[in-house]
Amino acid sequence: MATKIDYELLDEVKTRYPKKYKVYLLNDDYTSMEFVIDIIISIFHKSYEQAEAIMLEVHKNERGLCGIYTHEIAETKVSQVIQKAQDNSFPLKAIMEEES
């Protein structure tokens, strides 16, 4: 004969969302505007209009927000930007910052 067993959780289970990170492109005096737009479209999957607005933000404010992602995705996007820029002989840089 089977016995009924009751289970009780001693502690509340708390779930948290993963931290998010902002990915920015940084301005420099050598990378062409067309290349920055191409990066934003191909890596961050933005429309041409969105890419142009972000490129102008980079140009005017020294950096432009391209997206907000989990740590692993943000890290991958930064690496992709740096690799594509190096492959095309541009000094374009990307950084990630924890969202507050």
Per-residue confidence band for 13, with pLDDT thresholds at 50, 70 and 90: confident
Domains of the chain, with CATH numbers? 29-98 (3.30.1390.10)
Asked whether residue 9 carries a pLDDT value surpassing 90, the answer given is no
Token code pair at residue 62: 């020294």
Picking from 91, 94, 68, the residue whose alpha carbon sits closest to that of residue 81 is 94
Picking from 47, 48, 57, the residue whose alpha carbon sits closest to that of residue 22 is 57
Segment 32-67, tens digit of pLDDT: 999 999 999 999 999 999 999 999 999 999 999 999
